[in-house]
Every structure is written in C-alpha cells, then in structure tokens.
Structure 1
C-alpha cells in the first residue's frame, strides 16, 4: 500500500543511503528534485535557510537544478547546517546547484543540495504528461498552461525532445500554483546535434503565433542558446554554460571566451 507521502509526490522515493550518490546519472539543468532532507541545503550566500524557504520546503520540498557546476566533496567555504545522516565511508558527496522558489514573484534562493538527500528527480520531458492532472480552472486561467498542448504539437513537427521549464514546468511537476496569467511559456529543446537555421526559424515563427510569450532554448552538449537568437541569423551567440556565458559562433562546436 502506498503511503500518503508517495501519493502526494506521485511515486516511491529513491532509496537514500551510503551509495545513493552513485545511483544513476546526476541531475541536469531544469530538473526538479524532491528533497528527502530539505534542511541539508546550503545557501550560497552562507548562513541558514531564510524562514520563507524553510516554510516552503516543509510543505513542498521541491527545488530546481540550476546551471552551475556540481561540487564534489565538502564545500568548505559554506556553513554546515543539519544534514541527513550519511555513512562517512560512502563515496564523496555531490552537491547539486539548485534554486528554491518562494511564494512571491522573484523570491528565489540559490543553494547547494546533497545528491544523497534527493528522493526523486523529474526531467522537463516528463512534465507534459502531467498536464491532465491540473485543475480545469488553473488551465483556463493561465495561458502558459492552457496552450501547452498546442506548443507540444508545434515542437513535435520538428521531432525534438522537449519539456516545459520555468513557472509552468514547476507547477506541472510539483502541483504548486506558481504560474500566473502573465507567465511566459518557457521550453527547453534537446538538441545534441546541430539544428539548421531554417528549421529554427520555422519553429520560432510557429511558436510566436501562440497568444502567449514563448521563450525556448536549444540545449546542446555544451550549454543552451536562445532559439530566437539562433534563428535570427546573427554571427555570434551567447551560450549559457555551467561556468558562465560564452560568446560562440557555433553552439554545437563552441570556440570562444567566457564572458
């Protein structure tokens, strides 16, 4: 029989223990993580979690993976709040860069989360199938949610793996009503192989016809570039990488300095 916690978060939690850090791939940018021990998060600014973050994590312990390097070992320059018990003989801990989303617009907290305390991972590609679970009034009142099936159809024409991110993605994954009537529809498009400018322009034009602002990014093996920027035909792009933005001529074969 499934317990109430499993029902709330849709599925059994990942086993947490000495070897948890070695199980499966590490999370990627935009993934949603269900934390087994939210108090183990370490704010990047130091100190303890602010009261609003503790309140949010107690009720809904979900965080979003950010685009920053994973820290292996013990981040010595950050304080040590209460952590989940962990076998000292286990493999070195992996600290994942995450963001805690608050109830107010723009309320965010950047932190590091221990991989051994992650109970479940949701990738953006898994979120569209959760659209039917939303309340009808939420779909009717939030354009970014209402138009997701139409955006899915347009992206499917280009045979790209994709998923919603931002406020819409967070609401689909966690069930929290964080998207608003003016929220844009943000998408990540998986493009491990080069996409032609012609195809990018066609997709951008199709998405721009939707009655909601659409912000799509092409995720390559090295980082992400905005679909609108790539489709515009400029010669230099801003590639967003874990180590900062990088000016490149080709997002799939980057050559160029970091900003």
Structure 2
C-alpha cells in the first residue's frame, strides 16, 4: 500500500494516537465520518501522519495511525473518476467540470483535495458556498514553465478560486507560484518547507 499526502483514509477512531489530548470535537467528527487525510509530516516506521477535520475551519487536529489499521484508502484521483460530483450543484463541484476539461487535455493524473475531496469520500456535506477548490496534480516528470503559465491562465476563468497543488516524488508546491517563474518555489516536504529551483531534481522522499 503506497500512502501519499492528500490521500483519505477510512479508520476507527480507537486506532489513532497523539502526543497531546485528542479534542472532543475530533472524536465526534470521526464518529460522524470516520475519514482522515494524510498529512505531509514524517511519521515513524509503520505509522502514517493523519489530520482530522471538524465542522469549523479552525478545527484541525494532527495525529498518527498504524498503517495496518487503515480500513480503506481513497486517492484524490480516484474521487475524480467516480463522477458523483457531476450531480452536485455547489460552485466548487461545478468548477470541477472546468478543471476536467482543462487538465484532461494535458494527460495529468489529478483529483480534488480539501473540502471537496472530503465530501466526496465521506458522503458528509462539507463544502459551502464560499469554499475554494483544491486540485491535486500528480506530476512525477518536469512540467515546463510555459505549460504551467498556460494552465494557470485557463483556470482564472473558473467560477471559484482554484488552488493547484503539484505533487512530485519529493513534495508539493503551488503551480501558481511556479508559473510566475520568479525564482525558487516553496517545496513542502515531510521534513518541512524548503526553497527549490527544480522540485523534480530533489531527492525522493517517501511517507
């Protein structure tokens, strides 16, 4: 099982552990929707760093989970393939129609993250009328800057703000920042952020 940042995992709340007390709201959230997102944090061997989300934006809690306690794994790109978002009327899901038309032309593997991804995985209403759309793009090979500029320009026409997160084997970075071509980009890794002139040339890091 290859577990990557942004993956959604179905779990039992009894299996998670943390170095600090787990908030009551986090336990309630897991009882309602037993799904967590994989965090970009280094975890001990045999464990995975997870994030629990609550109803409010400020309700986020980091914890850990034994890998062998994962009941189900859902990747953002799997959520896109299910197509159940095409029956939803929220602006975020309507924007996924635009995203599909734009990105399929480039051959990228991609899918929704954030609140949209969580709602599609858990079937619990999470998206609001004010939600942005987080898109996870898998890009193991270098994306030319001129191509990034072209993609970002097309996404400016979408109904809601879209955050395009590019994932390489070493970490993730903003496609918008990369498209500015103004020097190194902030590459987020499991050991923390670092500036990188070429995210694809960085040493491979695994969860």
For Structure 1 versus Structure 2, the TM-score category normalised by the shorter chain is: over 0.9
Partner of 2:13: 38
2:39 equivalent in structure 1: 66
Query: Which structure has the bigger radius of gyration?
Result: 1
C-alpha displacement of 1:51: 1.5
Secondary structure of residue in 2 paired with 1:58: helix
Correspondence for 2:61: 109
Is structure 2 residue 148 aligned with structure 1 residue 166? no
Shift of 1:133: 6.2
Which of the pair is proportionally richer in helix?
Answer: 2
Query: What are the equivalent positions in structure 2 for 1:213-224 lying under 5 Å apart?
Result: 213-224=161-172
Checking the alignment, whether the CA contact within 8 Å between 1:95 and 1:115 is kept in structure 2 is yes
| Alpha-carbon contact 1:43-1:109 (below 8 Å) kept | no
Q: What is the distance in 2 between the residues matched to 1:159 and 1:130? A: 18
Q: Runs ≥4 in structure 1, deviation > 4 angstroms?
A: none
Q: 1: CA distance between counterparts of 2:27 and 2:196?
A: 40
Structure 1 length-normalised TM: 0.75
Secondary structure at 1:221 match in 2: coil
- Pairwise CA RMSD of aligned residues? 1.5
Tell me, in whole angstroms, the C-alpha distance in 2 between the residues paired with 1:178 and 1:152. Answer: 21
- State the aligned residue count: 203
Residue 186 (1) aligns with residue 134 (2)? yes
From 150, 175, 183, the equivalent of 1:235 is 183
Instruction: Establish whether residue 100 from structure 1 lines up as the match of residue 48 from structure 2.
Output: no
Q: Tell me which moved more, 123-132 or 109-118.
A: 123-132
Matched, 1:52 2:4: no
TM-score for the superposition, normalised by structure 2: 0.93
